[in-house]
Amino acid sequence: MEDKIYNLKQKQLELENICLSKYAVKSSETKGRTKEEPPCSIRTEFQRDRDRILHCKSFRRLKHKTQVFLSPMGDHYRTRMTHTLEVSQIARTIAGYLSLNEDLTEAIALGHDLGHTPFGHSGEIVLNGLLPGGFEHNKQSLRVVDILENLNLTQETRDGILNHTADIAPFTLEGQIVKIADRIAYLNHDIDDAIRAGIIEEKDLPEEAIRVLGKSKSQRISFIIKDILINSSDKIEMSSECNEAMNNVLRKWMFENVYTNSPAKAEENKAKRVIYALFNFYFENFYMIEKTFEKVSRESKEILVADYIAGMTDRFAISDYMNKFVPGAWREM
């Protein structure tokens, strides 16, 4: 039986060598893991990365973390998990048509936001101000897979996760795809959510961008993907016209009308106070969470408290804050 399984896996690796582009990262050419492991008899190395991320606790918590709207009551607003899945879908589509490694692309996409705090970028801003070395969710995502979850991922997946939002481009085209797919996803689904919330109307969107990209969400995503497919070869890029419409017009408009100055941000200061209060509480009462971090006890107390806070979901942070700082009703003994 093992011989048959081995032969099936070898066929898969051979197919990669035949079918994937010369610019793709083949599973057999990975730079490897931080700690060496015997190979899986069934899965390629990037398939293992994807599965480890999919099954880890930090991934499951994404379903209750903010994308833009804090703890939305409606069932149809995006969360950090649904955002991640949309990034993965867009990224895999691009990778497939460019004959790049879809498994590596998917692994990076699924892991790219594991380090996000509760309440989205509001929580990130608070922790960034409290930690001496600052806090960035992409670096925290790498810390999650390396240390807190100890997933021992390949170098290619780790690089893509770290650099999905940094100035430095990932060294693989698969990582570059996720970087651009992240922006395609959030711009378009955040428009969808903002319209659903009544913050903006479709007619409000900037004509300069809509004329180029399309009126509906599906039209815009399709146009951008096609543009990338036509303009990419040894690096992932879009035409100057598409880049101008998406990044310099539509994205700027979203920051001005949704991300920084809209009813969607009305509760942001409250969320920041929750994070600030919890951080200070656990810093002063570190014994309460110390056992959680026995395996990473060499780190400073500030970093470990930030790990604990960043790992919270929105609802857990709110519940914990209520328990710690809001008086409960008196119960007769």
Quote the crossing angle between the two packed helices 217-231 and 80-97, to the nearest 10°: 40
For 114-162, the pLDDT digits (tens) are 999 999 999 999 999 999 999 999 999 999 999 999 999 999 999 999 9
Contacts of 248 (CB under 8 A, 6+ apart): none
For 311-333, the pLDDT digits (tens) are 999 999 999 999 999 987 665 65
Query: What's the count of helices (H) and strands (E) in the chain, helices before strands?
Result: 16, 0
Contact between 95 and 177 (Cβ < 8 Å): yes
Domain ranges of the chain: 45-114+149-265
Question: Residue type for 35, please?
Answer: K
Quote the crossing angle between the two packed helices 102-111 and 173-196, to the nearest 10°: 50
Select the CATH number that applies to the domain covering 45-114+149-265 from these four: 1.10.3720.10, 3.40.50.1450, 3.40.50.2300, 1.10.3210.10.
Answer: 1.10.3210.10
For 23-38, the pLDDT digits (tens) are 999 999 999 999 999 9
Question: How high is the pLDDT of residue 5?
Answer: 67
Map residue 263 onto helix, strand or coil.
helix
Question: How high is the pLDDT of residue 2?
Answer: 63
Question: How high is the pLDDT of residue 139?
Answer: 97
Nearest C-alpha neighbor of 239 from the set 249, 251, 254, 224: 224
Contacts of 261 (CB under 8 A, 6+ apart): none
Question: Residue type for 5, please?
Answer: I
Nearest C-alpha neighbor of 78 from the set 187, 184, 193, 182: 193
Chain centroid to CA 49: 15
Rg over CA atoms, the chain: 21
Share of the chain above pLDDT 90, in %: 80
For 294-315, the pLDDT digits (tens) are 877 678 999 999 999 999 999 9
User: pTM to 2 decimals?
Assistant: 0.94
